[in-house]
Structure 1
Amino acid sequence: MNKIFFKRALAVAFIATMPFFATAQERKANWQNLDLKTDSVFGISTEKAYKELLKGKKSTPVIVAVLDGGVDINHEDLKRVIWTNKKEIAGNGVDDDKNGYIDDVHGWNFIGGKDGSVEFETLELTRLVRRDAIRFRDVTPTTNDMLETDKKEYDQFLKNREDFEKRLATAKSDLQGIGGFKTVLDQVVKKIGKENPTKEDFSNFKAQTGQEERLRATMLEILDEVDFKKFYDNDISGGYKQAYEMVNYNLNLDYNPRTVVGDNPNDSKERFYGNKDVKGPDASHGSHVAGIIAADRTNSLGIKGVADNVLIMGVRNTPNGDERDKDVANAIRYAADNGAKVLNMSFGKSYSWDKAVVDEAVKYAISKDVLLVQAAGNDNADIDVEPNYPSRKFLDGTIAGSWIVVGASDEKDDETLKAGFSNFGKTAVDVFAPGVKINSTVPDNNIYKEENGTSMAAPVVSGLAALIRSYYPKLTAPQVKDIILKSVVKVNRDVKNMKDGAPVTVPFASLSVTGGIVNTYNALKLAETYK
């Protein structure tokens, strides 16, 4: 699921959980690619590497597949770096390269059909509960004639249903709370008479009710850190939208958008479905990811991607909701078959419908020397113990080798270095990379936006992997992974984290396999020594 991190603001009487992710300081532009020593921000030293290590060196193009919600192929900072399938003739309605996908000029959309594309989807949990509620509708806890396997699956259904009901109750509470806050805020702003009121405006506002006074006090604290418009757009409108979609789509047992695709969603072996629209109805997340990896470094526009000789292949498999295992598997296979050498997977979920089909696809991609890069997730969870899919641990207990899991870090080399939302795991997360207030490309009007998440950290690493493969094309995927992990900047300090709702201090080294943050400069120097 495409998750944007929302930091919690102060609670007020009429809203229990108001989303908020503002920070006081402005970031240096392109901070994720800057150098800790030179620029005083904990970036990955990409610009230093270009200046000192890559000047005058030749590179070869590397295809990076962005498995996501869609990519805006016409964005000013992306259009030069979009992959084109030269074996396919655009718009002729013929499968020219005979790969099973008609007019797949820039990639493929596995959540689309002849009449459009899926935008909103249910969570995997919702789908599992819906399926098993039918299967076990005549079963009660006292049923004695069940096979042992059926009993285990029934018990799992009961646990899933309980989790579903808790999540739905929380989502409804959030929707009501945020909606209530938004209503009062809109009324107060109307009385103030300004579209973008300042802290001084709220300070001078004469509250007429208890709700207005509580809101005024809350806004005075919030506007110490961020301007009103950014807060309103990102946290109030964005938070309300997220809660609304959770209640009405993601956790709605009666919602099923899959008919638009025209496939059999229960047939995991089905391969050839979808459409050519790699942008889809909402390409904001995937476009942001693509820009972090490869935004055009040769123009004077916008931002700079990590890699300078990359072609972005858009593979749409992630709706606004949980991706389906069938689509994930087919997206991986499509990317591998069409030449991608790095796959960015900035998505994830807590349940899996058919892990076996994803495992098979991953093994297939690895056999074709593909490196998979996955975002760790944004629940501040220890994924050594909490389930997180897709997972590099196969059902047979073996581990996918050419696979990197990435947590998110912040800019300061202090106790705030770990992003508060980032998942972690001493064995399940390999490295950390910048993932807070990352500015990148978003669709339609050639605009740019800051976002937070391990979804932003993963493409930093995908860009680094592509950069290595571009300048050292003979290196294998396992070698590239080895280089990235061995070249991290180790962090020997304690950092803040949350556990059971309370702040704790933990060694940064305990949060991942390497205990460090990726570094382009170090990685390229190390790559030079590999044969």
Structure 2
Amino acid sequence: MPKKIQPLFYTLLFIFVILVSCKSTKTPNNLNQTLLESPNLTVKQTWQFKDFQKDSIPGISLEKWYLQNKKKPKNKNLIIAVIDTQIDLKHEDLQGIIWTNTKEIPNNGIDDDHNGYIDDINGWSFTGTKSGAYVVWNRYEYVRIVEKWEPLFKGKSESEIEAEDIYKFKEYQRALKTFKEKNEYYGNWHQSLQYRVAMFPLVKDTLKYFFPKEDYTYKQLDSMYKKYKINDKTYRQMRKDKDTDLGALIKYMMVGIESGEKKLEDIKDKEIQLDSVLNKNLNLNYNERLSIADNPEILEKGYGNNKISNTIEGIRPIQDHNTMVSGLLSANRYNNKGIKGMTEAKIMPINISPSGDEHDKDIAMAIRYAVDNGAKVINMSFGKEFSMHRDWVIDAFKYAEKHNVLLVHSSGNDAEDVDQNISFPNDLDYDEKTEISNNFINVGSITQKFGATLVSDFSNYGKQNVDLFAPGEDIYTTGSENRYKFESGTSFAAPMVSGTAALIWTYYPKLSVKQVKQIILDSGTPYNIEVILPGTTDKKVPFSELSKTGKVLNLYDAMQLAERINKQNK
């Protein structure tokens, strides 16, 4: 090679090597190259995606599938609707994953796509107010039932009720009983907090004598309580206030530490919250729909607003739930930040959940909105004890089924048997036995500990009305203001199933909703062990008796079964 050409040759060779290197680090065409590219994520932060056979952790085998998958997705535009609270659209890990309504021109005040919602660019807030804000407090559903049905049933016996109203009458009686119990419970709690606020200065001053730096721990106070009895002479000589009960003061602060209320501000914050519970959630005369200018008794489109992310600069949002659920489902997989979502599906945020119970109207309209705007999977991590207009919700379920859309619901966190204590929404007819559709999956929560404590102690269960379990405890996910945190609840077990369904349809888009549901249920992992029954400390039952399938979600096996079913369809 001539010497004059050598420099040019090596320069071109160098450029070629750089280009090849850059090409190899581009966003991969399939996802199996991405999941393990976050070395900062620990097993504790990703346990839910592990494989039981390989890792001895009862995860859903997501990592195993990603590492082995060689197929390219056939549907890159799949949408998961998250019916939930407000969402933090500015979160760094949610960038690029939020659904955009391309048929709508932003902020022109016109319903360009004629879907009944003005400027719904990224979703819709059915709790949005006319002023552009959102409702923070809803009444509980049993309060609404008492307020609306009391004029019909107060003072009457069942023998005086027409046959067509018997169901309403029984629900009114159940709601009235719950209303009275909750009013008494929260009222007493509120009074105790008011007392604690008043007593705090005395307690703090007393303990400062023993701990000048105020650095006491629960263990130290417990030891001190055992040492200094109520009539301790040393203490009585030390204080001018001879009638002060040191034991009671120590116990006071121990209770505060145990409940996370060591500071006066903590107690005041809790007292303010309970004041809102009593005066809003439990107030028969409170009307949260006034600011929306909506009649909750009429099923119609258009109410609410497009403000799905009402965040104020410098103020942490009260509502964080949607941000956590959405990140778990689809947090950006290629930005080398935070976490990696299960899928690359777009998230359609829909707001219906203030503090309190969701309105059946909002649930029904949110489902219909999601279906009409192209969602394939609808995640519903919310629930309530009563349902005033369950017929509206039932019709919405059937509407989603007709359009081949899957509904995934969290079973709830009351440690109850939902076969005996029915929760809403559900896929049951009014007889509470017959299923009204084939597109609803109810999900319980498990821990990462295989054995007796496999089922989360808070999780609801039910041989008939919980379909299967999925990881839902100590789940690491996105929080508002670019935070990441661990959270627990069946709210995080449901997205495991929603994400699995989304991946199935991403690769096998011709499967029906009935097939996808059955694939998820049939492919779960059965564990032939006894577990502690939620709500008890030591009562053991077969894990197989706590859900319809007796299984834990297994994404890897679900994808394998989906492939086989898909081939059979051809």
Say which of 120, 123, 132 aligns to 1:104: 120
Q: In structure 1, what is the equivalent of residue 147 of structure 2?
A: 130
Q: How does 1:374-523 map to 2 (within 5 A)?
A: 374-395=409-430, 397-443=434-480, 445-498=481-534, 503-523=538-558
Instruction: Kindly provide the CA deviation profile for residues 387-424 of structure 1, in whole angstroms up to 9, marking residues without a partner as x.
Output: 21111113484431011110011110011111111111
Cα pair 1:30 1:304 within 8 Å, conserved: no
Compute the displacement of 1:485 (Å). 0.9
Instruction: Kindly provide the CA deviation profile for residues 357-397 of structure 1, in whole angstroms up to 9, marking residues without a partner as x.
Output: 11111111111110000010111111112121111113484
Q: 1:108 corresponds to which letter in structure 2?
A: W
Instruction: Kindly provide the CA deviation profile for residues 96-123 of structure 1, in whole angstroms up to 9, marking residues without a partner as x.
Output: 1111100000001111132122111001
Compute the displacement of 1:517 (Å). 0.9
* 3-state SS, counterpart of residue 83 of structure 2: strand
Compute the displacement of 1:240 (Å). 5.7
Cα pair 1:63 1:341 within 8 Å, conserved: yes
**Length-normalised TM-score, structure 2:** 0.79
Q: In structure 2, what is the equivalent of residue 345 of structure 1?
A: 380
Instruction: Kindly provide the CA deviation profile for residues 322-376 of structure 1, in whole angstroms up to 9, marking residues without a partner as x.
Output: 1111111100000000000000001111111111111111111111110000010
Q: 2:502 corresponds to which letter in structure 1?
A: A
Matched, 1:90 2:106: yes
In the aligned structure 2, how far is the partner of 1:145 from the partner of 1:481?
A: 44
Compute the displacement of 1:198 (Å). 5.4
Q: 1:156 to 1:390 in 2, by over 3 A?
A: closer
Q: In structure 1, what is the equivalent of residue 306 of structure 2?
A: 276
Cα pair 1:68 1:318 within 8 Å, conserved: yes
Compute the displacement of 1:58 (Å). 6.3
In the aligned structure 2, how far is the partner of 1:334 from the partner of 1:131?
A: 27
Percent identity among equivalent residues? 40
Cα pair 1:184 1:211 within 8 Å, conserved: no
Q: In structure 1, what is the equivalent of residue 37 of structure 2?
A: none
Compute the displacement of 1:503 (Å). 4.0
Cα pair 2:106 2:119 within 8 Å, conserved: yes
Matched, 1:251 2:282: yes
In the aligned structure 2, how far is the partner of 1:121 from the partner of 1:440?
A: 27
Q: In structure 1, what is the equivalent of residue 249 of structure 2?
A: 212
* 3-state SS, counterpart of residue 28 of structure 1: helix
Q: In structure 1, what is the equivalent of residue 39 of structure 2?
A: none
Say which of 397, 402, 405 aligns to 1:370: 405
In the aligned structure 1, how far is the partner of 2:552 from the partner of 2:202?
A: 45
Say which of 344, 354, 359 aligns to 1:319: 354
In the aligned structure 1, how far is the partner of 2:254 from the partner of 2:294?
A: 53
Compute the displacement of 1:47 (Å). 1.6
Say which of 317, 320, 342 aligns to 1:306: 342
In the aligned structure 2, how far is the partner of 1:399 from the partner of 1:350?
A: 19
Q: In structure 2, what is the equivalent of residue 30 of structure 1?
A: 46
* 3-state SS, counterpart of residue 288 of structure 1: helix
Cα pair 1:359 1:395 within 8 Å, conserved: no
Instruction: Kindly provide the CA deviation profile for residues 262-296 of structure 1, in whole angstroms up to 9, marking residues without a partner as x.
Output: 111111x2222110011246430111111111111
Cα pair 2:60 2:554 within 8 Å, conserved: yes
Coordinate RMSD, CA, aligned: 3.2
Q: 1:199 to 1:86 in 2, by over 3 A?
A: same
Q: In structure 1, what is the equivalent of residue 333 of structure 2?
A: 297
Cα pair 1:199 1:219 within 8 Å, conserved: no
Moved more, 48-57 or 146-155: 146-155
In the aligned structure 2, how far is the partner of 1:30 from the partner of 1:122?
A: 37
Matched, 1:79 2:115: no
Which structure is richer in relative contact order (CA contacts within 8 A, separation 6 or more)?
Answer: 1
* 3-state SS, counterpart of residue 432 of structure 1: strand
In the aligned structure 2, how far is the partner of 1:401 from the partner of 1:240?
A: 44
Cα pair 1:283 1:442 within 8 Å, conserved: no
Tell me how many residue pairs correspond in the alignment: 494
Cα pair 1:410 1:418 within 8 Å, conserved: yes
Instruction: Kindly provide the CA deviation profile for residues 286-325 of structure 1, in whole angstroms up to 9, marking residues without a partner as x.
Output: 1111111111121221122221x11000111122111111
Q: In structure 1, what is the equivalent of residue 189 of structure 2?
A: 174
Q: Which runs of 5+ in 1 are unaligned?
A: 1-25
Q: 1:488 to 1:109 in 2, by over 3 A?
A: same
Cα pair 1:44 1:520 within 8 Å, conserved: yes
In the aligned structure 2, how far is the partner of 1:488 from the partner of 1:193?
A: 57
Cα pair 2:455 2:534 within 8 Å, conserved: no
Cα pair 2:416 2:534 within 8 Å, conserved: no
Moved more, 317-326 or 189-198: 189-198
* 3-state SS, counterpart of residue 433 of structure 1: strand
Say which of 112, 116, 120 aligns to 2:137: 120
* 3-state SS, counterpart of residue 45 of structure 2: coil
Q: 1:170 corresponds to which letter in structure 2?
A: Y
Compute the displacement of 1:147 (Å). 4.2
* 3-state SS, counterpart of residue 378 of structure 2: strand
Q: Which runs of 5+ in 2 are unaligned?
A: 1-41, 229-234, 236-245, 311-316
Q: 1:504 corresponds to which letter in structure 2?
A: K
**Length-normalised TM-score, structure 1:** 0.84
In the aligned structure 2, how far is the partner of 1:289 from the partner of 1:232?
A: 31
* 3-state SS, counterpart of residue 531 of structure 2: strand
Compute the displacement of 1:471 (Å). 2.2
